[in-house]
């Protein structure tokens, strides 16, 4: 693939608050959430907890880290803000299936790779990262693309860079979103090609897992399995869904038919949004905003 001759990204969504000011960039947090074929960008004012920018891009599928950096570079070179290097914080969040959440009491730096290998296949060439999830006493261990991190560090040399993983950020988002029930409740995040599921009880995480989805019926299968395991009643329990699903879609209606109690989740109350964000459904980009709760 010749990156220089192809349009390797496509803008899917762009929202910008009128309060954004290039002169205040040193008080802003930049969030970059990178998946195999997508990128989300958010800018949040740390002083006011106000979301100022949200963008969503699809990316050309790449074969290795080197190609991924080329794709990102092509996007960054055309972007009016991403090459600016004076953000107060930069959060680089990776989206991939190689991760685990380990209790803090069982974790040490020396056994991070060994713990991860108990949960997924890890190659000797894979880079392994970890960090404490702020919302509970766990450590998120995951693989990441070293060349991508190197590229990001080369741009934001004056900013503090934090490296996270989508799974931990979803946990943050769920556990930073009261009120909490004193019974098992199921929080679902429908991503592109994945279903992420968290079970909580009284504000404590009981379970978290991700499932690769190839056809719609698999959503129903996995949700049924979780409801059965944690005794969440399909007609009386608590099930909330966030992510890439429309409330008026046939897919949501199918979920509602199988799980009558399912409801679309709300946007976090810990961040502020101007009227420009009214065009974005409140249940979307829940994971992106979760990154802000790990600063």
* Tens digit of each residue's pLDDT (9 = 90 or more) over 166-194: 999 999 999 999 999 999 999 999 998 89
Whether 15 and 137 share a structural domain: yes
What global pTM score does this model have?
0.95
Which residue range forms the structural domain that includes residue 13?
A: 3-97+125-169+272-280+284-294
The answer to whether residue 111 sits within a structural domain is no
If asked whether residues 87 and 152 sit together in one domain, one would say yes
CA distance 52 to 93: 19
Residue 256 and residue 289 in one domain: no
Question: Which residues are paired to 272 by β-bridges?
Answer: 50
Share of the chain above pLDDT 90, in %: 94
270, HSE (Cβ side, Cα atoms, 13 Å)? 16
Task: List CB contacts of 11: < 8 A, sequence separation 6 or more.
Answer: 55, 56, 57
* Local structure of 119: helix, strand or coil: coil
Residues 77 and 150 in one domain: yes
For residues 158 and 16, membership in a common domain is answered with yes
**Are the beta carbons of 226 and 205 closer than 8 angstroms?**
no
Instruction: Give pLDDT tens digits for 236-269.
Output: 999 999 999 999 999 999 999 999 999 999 998 8
């Amino acid at each position: 693939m010749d990156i220089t001759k192809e349009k390797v990204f496509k803008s899917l969504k762009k929202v910008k608050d009128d309060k954004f000011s290039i002169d205040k960039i040193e008080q802003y947090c930049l969030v970059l959430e990178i998946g195999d074929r997508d990128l989300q960008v958010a800018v949040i004012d740390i002083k006011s907890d106000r979301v100022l920018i949200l963008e969503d891009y699809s990316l050309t599928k790449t074969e290795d880290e080197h190609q991924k950096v080329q794709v990102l570079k092509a996007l960054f070179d055309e972007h009016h803000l991403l090459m600016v290097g004076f953000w107060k914080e930069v959060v680089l969040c990776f989206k991939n299936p190689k991760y685990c959440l380990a209790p803090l009491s069982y974790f040490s730096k020396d056994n991070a790779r060994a713990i991860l290998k108990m949960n997924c296949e890890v190659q000797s060439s894979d880079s392994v990262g970890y960090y404490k999830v702020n919302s509970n006493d766990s450590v998120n261990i995951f693989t990441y693309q070293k060349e991508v991190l190197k590229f990001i560090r080369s741009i934001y040399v004056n900013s503090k860079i934090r490296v996270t993983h989508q799974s931990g950020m979803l946990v943050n988002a769920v556990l930073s979103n009261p009120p909490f029930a004193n019974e098992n409740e199921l929080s679902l995040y429908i991503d592109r090609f994945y279903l992420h599921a968290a079970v909580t009880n009284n504000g404590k995480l009981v379970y978290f897992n991700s499932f690769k989805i190839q056809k719609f019926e698999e959503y129903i299968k996995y949700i049924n399995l979780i409801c059965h395991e944690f005794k969440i009643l399909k007609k009386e329990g608590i099930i909330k869904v966030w992510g890439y699903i429309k409330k008026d879609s046939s897919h949501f209606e199918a979920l509602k038919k199988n799980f009558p109690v399912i409801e679309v989740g709300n946007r976090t109350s810990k961040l502020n949004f101007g009227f420009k964000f009214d065009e974005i459904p409140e249940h979307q980009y829940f994971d992106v905003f979760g990154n802000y709760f790990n600063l």
